[in-house]
Structure 1
Amino acid sequence: MRSLLMMVGLPDLPLLSIILIVMMIVLTALLFGWISDLLLGNGGFGTLLNAGLILVGGFAGAWLWHRFGVPTRIDPNALRAAIALASGLFLLVVAAVFRP
């Protein structure tokens, strides 16, 4: 778990700090899942599945940016957070469009 969090850009932290960060990430994903469920209406998957898709897309986007990112003058942590949010929401919208 610690190596996964370090892979997406979090520093090496004590266990309590890691638990707090993970809880904040989960609560934020649930909030975005709920908001996207309101916005998508019948095209959504429900709050929990929306939150799961946002988390998976966010981790994938942050990992890909960490692996293949282009150096910029923008703060790397803020840019990684924006990329993670955008890729999570992108995955949710793509899944809603191609829903059977």
Structure 2
Amino acid sequence: MRTLILMLGLPDMSTPQLVLFMAIVGVTLLLFGWISDLLLRDGAFGIILNGFIVIGGAVLGTLAWRKLGYTIGTNPALTTSLVALGSGLALLILLTALRRWL
């Protein structure tokens, strides 16, 4: 788990900090899942699966962004956050569109 956190560009954390971080990720997962369930209505996958799709897309988008080495602006944390949000939502919309067409 620590390797993944370091790959995402987050600092190395102690065990209590890691537990708190995972709790925040869990609450965020449910929040994103609930909001996307409200927005997509019938096309949604369910609160928990929507959250996992958004979080998974955010992780993949962040890893790809860091691998490509792009930097925009003077605040890399803000840029990375926006890339993560955009890639997570893009993956959810793509999977929803594929589900409706198939």
Question: Which bracket does the TM-score occupy, shorter chain normalised?
Answer: over 0.9
For 2:81, the equivalent position in structure 1 comes to: 81
Matched positions, count: 100
For 1:52, the equivalent position in structure 2 comes to: 52
Secondary structure of residue in 2 paired with 1:13? coil
TM-score of the superposition, structure 1-length normalised?
A: 0.93
CA-based RMSD of the aligned residues comes to 1.0
Task: Map Cα deviations across residues 3-47 of structure 1 (whole Å, 9 max, x no partner).
Answer: 101101110111111111121122112101101101101011000
For 1:96, the equivalent position in structure 2 comes to: 96
1:9, 1:77 within 8 Å by CA — same for their partners in 2? no
Whole-angstrom CA distance in 1 between matches of 2:51 and 2:95: 13
For 1:43, the equivalent position in structure 2 comes to: 43
User: Residue type of the partner of 1:10?
Assistant: L
Whole-angstrom CA distance in 1 between matches of 2:67 and 2:20: 26
Whole-angstrom CA distance in 1 between matches of 2:38 and 2:73: 36
2:37, 2:50 within 8 Å by CA — same for their partners in 1? yes
Unmatched 5+ residue regions in structure 2? none
Secondary structure of residue in 1 paired with 2:64? helix
> Runs in 1 of length 4+ with deviation above 6 angstroms?
none
